[in-house]
Every structure is written in structure tokens, then in C-alpha cells.
A = this chain, B = another copy of it.
Amino acid sequence: MNKAALFSQIQQKSSFLCVGLDADMDKIPAHLKSEKDPIFSFCRQIIEETADFAVAYKPNIAFFEALGPQGWETLQKVLEVIPKEIFTIADAKRGDIGNTSKLYAKAFFEKMDFDSVTVAPYMGADSVTPFLEFEDKWVILLALTSNAGSMDFQLINDSEGKPLYQTVLEKSQSWGSDENIMYVVGATRGELIGEVRKVVPNHFFLVPGVGAQGGSLSEVAKYGMNSSCGLLVNSSRGIIYASPEKDFAKVARFEAEKLQIEMKELLDKYL
């Protein structure tokens, strides 16, 4: 999917919501566990009920990988029930030497048909660029994450006072463009999103940490929105586990719609 198509969908739905599919056997409603493929059943129902309000889905690959080979079958089935116009993110945090990253890219872009994959920057240019050789496919590069550990290395200042995440933003811009690179920018630090936006005015950000992790949607929009929205705000647990009962998908729909209504207001205000 290219940037214009993504923006068009954002305008059409008045939403920049990404629903995170962290489908955990220990957390899905009990009545699903007797089904043949409980995780697929759970994700399918979540997708069916939230697709009106979501512009992206983000399966968390660890949750599927932990199920063994069957998990990858399930992941493929989940991918197939996501409507074609919705952007898909393999949240995999991959990244290795060039010939290896190329195989990860093939796994997610060819073997499966994801629009994007999250990539860790530690190994530098040649660990990222193999993902950029696929047309209308995206790298979503970790810049400033929303977890406590983001303080350990991402905020270290270099000799000129520039934090590591900013060097990641600057260097990576020469590897691709705002047509094939997005950045992970955590919502737990509202003011920092503005700093990131100054460095990369045109790129999309994938913003985790709204909801369960405590970030504020209005702060994210205030500091992060640009003329093509430039934001995909993810919510996982706050939507998919909003109810542990048989009504889980309906309640997920309600939670997704609540966020979409808030997003519409922010789009009207800033766009």
C-alpha cells in the first residue's frame, strides 16, 4: 500500500486507529478455547467488528510464533481476513545482516503479504535496506519506544548532545523516504513526539502506548499530526481485551468506535 492510499483511508474513515492483535491464549474469552483454532477465531471476530474504525491491524508476531508452526498457519489466516484496503503491520522487530534481513523481508512481504514490518535499527543501514527493496512495502523503524527500557540506550546523548533516537531518525532518512519508512514513536512521552516531528516532518509514526500504557491521544495529535495525518495510533489490550466474555467483539467494536470518534475530532481540529 502506498502513502496516498493510506491517507485516503484515514480521511474516509476519519480515523488513524491501528488495532494491535496481541492474541494470547491466556487472555482470550474462555468460550473460544474449545474451537479448532481459538486464536484465529478471536482475531477474526475482532477484525470483523472493528474494521469500520481501524485503518491498520498489527499482529504481534511473538504471540503467533509462541504457538509453534501452527501459529504461522493461524497468522496467515488472520492476514487473509483483514480487508484489503486496511494497512497491515507485522510487529516483528526484526533486523540482521543484509542477506538475513532479506530473508525476513521475503517471509513477511512475499511468503505472507504484509504491508509493513517493524525493524530494530541497532545493526544499521544494511540490516534495514533489504526491507526497502519491495514496492509499496514499508519498514517501521524503532526510534523512540514506549517501554521503560527505552531510557537505557535511545536517550543517550552523543558528544554533540544529540540523543541516539534522533541519530536513528536522521541517518535512516537517507535509506528510504516517507513513502517506505515510518517510525515507532512512543506515546508515553508527549513532548518528545514534537521533537521527533521536527526531525522528520513528513513521515508516518506508529504510536504505541496510548491506553494501557498511559499515553494521551490528544497530546499525540497535538505534537505529532502533519498534513497527511502522519499518525497510526495503536491500541491493543484496551480494545481486544475490553471484555473477557462472549460479547468481547461487540465491546471491542465499542472501544474502537470511541477512539475513532476522538480521532475524528482531532483530525477536524488539526488537519
Which one of B68, B103, B120, B146 lies within 8 Å of A65 (CB-CB)?
A: B103
The count of residues in chain A whose C-beta lies closer than 8 Å to any C-beta of chain B is 59
With A66-B104, A95-B93, A158-B159 known as contacts, the answer to whether A153 contacts B121 (CB < 8 A) is yes
- Residues on B with beta carbons closer than 8 Å to the beta carbon of A101: 62
- Residues on B with beta carbons closer than 8 Å to the beta carbon of A63: 100, 103
Using a CB–CB cutoff of 8 Å, the interface residues on chain A facing chain B are 22, 24, 60, 62-63, 65-70, 72-73, 76, 91, 93-101, 103-104, 106-107, 111-112, 120-128, 142, 145-154, 156-159, 161, 164, 167-168, 171
Which one of B69, B93, B126, B152 lies within 8 Å of A124 (CB-CB)?
A: B152
With A69-B69, A156-B158 known as contacts, the answer to whether A148 contacts B168 (CB < 8 A) is no
- Residues on B with beta carbons closer than 8 Å to the beta carbon of A127: 147, 149
A212 to chain B, nearest CB (A): 10
Closest 7 A-B residue pairs measured CB to CB?
A: A124-B149, A124-B152, A62-B103, A69-B72, A66-B103, A126-B149, A97-B147
Are the CB atoms of B148 and A125 closer together than 8 Å? Answer: yes
With A62-B100, A121-B122 known as contacts, the answer to whether A156 contacts B167 (CB < 8 A) is yes
Are the CB atoms of B123 and A145 closer together than 8 Å? Answer: yes
Are the CB atoms of A106 and B66 closer together than 8 Å? Answer: yes
With A66-B107, A123-B142, A147-B124 known as contacts, the answer to whether A100 contacts B60 (CB < 8 A) is yes
- Give the interface centre of A60, A69, A91 by most chain B CB atoms within 10 Å: A69
> Can you list 21 residue pairs at the A/B interface with Cβ under 8 Å?
A22-B99, A60-B100, A62-B100, A63-B100, A63-B103, A65-B107, A68-B72, A68-B112, A69-B70, A69-B72, A69-B73, A93-B94, A93-B120, A120-B122, A124-B151, A126-B148, A126-B149, A128-B149, A153-B167, A156-B164, A156-B167
CB-CB nearest in chain B for A145? B123
- Residues on B with beta carbons closer than 8 Å to the beta carbon of A123: 93, 120, 142, 145, 147, 149-150
- Residues on B with beta carbons closer than 8 Å to the beta carbon of A62: 94, 96, 100-101, 103-104, 107
- Residues on B with beta carbons closer than 8 Å to the beta carbon of A150: 123-124
A127 to chain B, nearest CB (A): 5
**Distance of A60 Cα from B102 Cα, bound (Å):** 12
Are the CB atoms of B97 and A145 closer together than 8 Å? Answer: yes
Are the CB atoms of A157 and B159 closer together than 8 Å? Answer: yes
A108 to chain B, nearest CB (A): 9
CB-CB nearest in chain B for A237? B99
**Distance of A99 Cα from B148 Cα, bound (Å):** 12
